[in-house]
Amino acid sequence: MGAGTEISLYLIRNVGALLLLMVVLRAVLHVSRVNFYNPLSQLVVRLTNPLLTPLRPLLPARGRIDWAAVVLAVAVQTLILVAIASVAGDRWALPDPITLLLWGVIGVLGLLINLYFFMLIAMIVVSWVAPGSRHPAVELIWQVSEPVMGPFRALLPNLGGIDFSPILVFISINVAQIGLRHLALAVGLPPGLVFGL
């Protein structure tokens, strides 16, 4: 592989992953019903609005699901895969459109699972280092992770102020990652091709 091809693949993967992360984060912000006046929420909204605004008339948000962001995330992941295939040339061939779309969905799910994994780690670290902090990043982490943590907290009895629900969440995340990795292998997704798997 030449230097130009390697640089191109690096840029496609990393710039694409950043764009995909912003779109997935926008969908997560909608699901979590975060404070959209938070400066970090506003940053994500401003960065993703140019791409999402044209899709809104066709794919309006319904309840907690922002369909425009979901469809855009899958489209971005699929376009990243197509761009990698076109740059990589004969190293691997593109599958049929349905399989390619499935690869896109798997890639978005992998990124979403990893996003929650790192958000939960950040939440745990912040609870040790700066409990009660009102920093916008800390507030956003709590608001995004709470919809995931809440149901697990409800399963556990009160253990004197010690919260063991993150352990259950991490076990669930690991189980989901294993299942998604095996699904990716079953549909022929080359290992390491999408972010998060």
Give the model's pLDDT for residue 197.
61
Q: What per-residue confidence (pLDDT) applies to 91?
A: 61
Per-residue pLDDT of the chain (197 residues; tens, 9 = 90+): 678 888 888 888 889 999 999 999 999 999 999 888 899 999 999 999 999 999 999 998 888 899 999 999 999 999 998 888 888 775 667 778 898 899 899 999 999 999 999 998 998 888 888 777 788 888 898 899 888 888 888 887 777 777 778 888 999 999 999 999 999 888 888 777 676 66
Give the per-residue pLDDT at 84.
84
Widest Cα–Cα separation across the chain = 60
Report d(CA 17, CA 74) in Å as an integer.
12
| b (16+ CB within 10 A) / e for 161-180 | eeeebbeebbeebeebbeeb
Q: Where are the domains of the chain?
A: 3-186
Q: Is 23 exposed, middle or buried (0-12, 13-18, 19+ CB in 10 A)?
A: buried
What's this model's pTM, rounded to 2 decimal places?
A: 0.87
